[in-house]
Structure 1
């Protein structure tokens, strides 16, 4: 059953744009926080310095761009992470990602 939303309660195009911009901003902030956590872990555990962490950051940004463009990107990532590296992480639900 679908709920009916009265026209007076629907978001305007401008409001939808504002919500999307806010959501994108929050996602970007969270992404950068996890990248920073990864950089600190690489520095503390493996002694990565400026050059190696800068290379890592560049790789992360490149992969993030690829993820946005490649429809089967996460299948490739799961093949490496779960298949080759044998890390016990859940695979992505590819059918849900396509929506």
Structure 2
């Protein structure tokens, strides 16, 4: 009985490394796509909720989305951004959220 060598053993180390790198990049792209889809859906839900509950128009919803975009840009630059958000949302507004980190 002959021992069989798996096809992966026939690849060079360089080829295996390249395949792993490409797999990682593809997985990252898929994750980013899914995150973008999830965020789009949450924004849609927020728009519907604000429109149905408070009558927000297109222009008011656009302002809310712009403010969220501005805050998310700040979050990327400020290391303690989420502590500030927690102070407002949890401490001042008394919303039942878990604190970050």
The answer to whether TM tops 0.5 is: yes
Q: Over aligned residues, Cα RMSD in angstroms?
A: 2.0
Q: Larger Rg: 1 or 2?
A: 2
Among 1, 22, 45, the residue aligned to 2:53: 45
Give TM-score scaled by structure 1 length. Answer: 0.76
The match for 2:9 is none
Partner Cα distance (2:96, 2:69) in 1: 24
In structure 2, the gaps of 5 or more residues are 1-12
In structure 1, the gaps of 5 or more residues are 1-6, 94-99
Q: Which has the higher contact order (CA 8 A, sep 6+)?
A: 1
The match for 1:13 is 21
Aligned-residue offset at 1:83 = 0.9
Give TM-score scaled by structure 2 length. Answer: 0.74
Distance 1:43 1:35, change over 3 A: same
Paired residue total: 87
Among 44, 62, 77, the residue aligned to 1:69: 77
Aligned-residue offset at 1:73 = 1.6
